[in-house]
Amino acid sequence: MKKKNMMKFLLIAVASIMLLALTGCEGAAGPGADVDVERSIGEGDTSFLLRVTDNEDVTTLWTVYTNEETVGDALYEVGLVDGEHTEFGLMILSVDGVVADFAANGAWWGFFVDGEMAAVGASDTVIESGVEYALVYSTD
């Protein structure tokens, strides 16, 4: 990864965390958020819940089936997310076809674990039984 791109990625990550710290983490990603659609995807012996709130505030609760170990690998494998593989892991740029373009409009996908902003990315988050994960489309 070029130095300029890495700095951009780090700046986006820091800005995202600061924004969430100032505005709070509850809301669409919270465990009590209303669900508009329920779907399942994938195949495997392990399953987990993923709550996705898109750019139109539509919330889909996905049951993801996989044999992968991490949330990021599972979501990428089933084609639910796409992004850029960096030295820091998968930088999620689109979820279920909805692209977040930070350069165009300040949009990004926030990753949450049980309603709290994740301390690490989806690629480094090992799937745990009973834990709900969330991806929330956000703008500046």
Structure tokens at 6: 């890495």
Would you identify the CATH topology of the domain 3-138?
Answer: Ferric Hydroxamate Uptake Protein; Chain A, domain 1 (2.170.130)
Q: What is the pLDDT of residues 74-92, one digit of tens each?
A: 999 999 999 998 998 899 9
Q: What percent of the chain has pLDDT over 90?
A: 72
The model's pTM:
0.77
- 3-class DSSP state of 5: helix
Q: Across all residues in the chain, what is the average pLDDT?
A: 84
Q: What's the gap between Cα 111 and its chain centre?
A: 4
Q: What is the pLDDT of residues 5-50, one digit of tens each?
A: 544 554 455 444 443 333 344 344 444 468 999 999 999 999 999 9
